[in-house]
Structure 1
Amino acid sequence: MSSLPEEQNDQPNQPAPPAQTAPPAQAAPAAKGSDDNLMAALSYIFLLSVVMLLVKKDSDYVQFHAKQGTVLFIGEVILGVVGSFTWFLFVLWDLVWVLFVIVSIIGFYRAYRGERYRLPVVADLADKIKI
């Protein structure tokens, strides 16, 4: 004899009910460094690089990109001033400005993606900035 009550012996073997599925997962919160990624990216927009250097001293990542953005900004200002007095640079100013914009876009994109990308020439000069 079985130890099960009689009413359970009369029932045929039934498959177990399907397990309940978990509700769909909520969107994952933004990564911890996403604010830093945004601030690092904004460092490539003209004078914001200097602001980020002064405001985000606690983030090495933001400082890295802010220094590169500052070098780009200073380079653009110097070439703009010199170009206003020199006919040769004045003629090339549009081309140089486009080059600065392209390099800034590359830096912005890489910083926002969380990459510590070293811009050629710019990074070497940025390494010399001590804050």
Structure 2
Amino acid sequence: MVTQPYNITGQRGGSVILNCSYSGYKERDVLGANIYWRLGNITGPYVYHPYKEMVHPDYAGRTEVTGSADLHIRGLQMSDDSTYYCFVMLRLCRGSNKKEKQIQFGEGTQLIVTGCERAQSVQVLRLS
């Protein structure tokens, strides 16, 4: 079972960590785990993928996994304001010579980015 908090707030230009954890297995049974994060929905573009070329260009070089599955996003932009989905693909050993794959999906974390969206227009008056 993958769990994630529902809402997190970050400031434009700053960074955030979106939490994700997975459970429901015995650690000794895990042969490996791949962590993935997607944007918007569970089939949206990747914001984190083990293969860097799979990451959407807007997130290239700005994301990494920390801890076991948490997503660290640097240089927050107003366009990062969205829902993020974690999913984990586990490779498990179930008895002698029996391997199994298990995929666990998170429920989504809403990232709310705060900060000035755009500069206000300023009217300049010329005095004569």
The TM-score with structure 1 as length reference comes to 0.23
Q: Which structure: greater helix fraction? A: 1
Give the strand-richer structure, 1 or 2: 2
**TM-score, with normalisation over the residues of structure 2?**
0.23
Pick 1 or 2: higher relative contact order, CA cutoff 8 A, min separation 6.
Answer: 2
Higher-Rg structure is 1
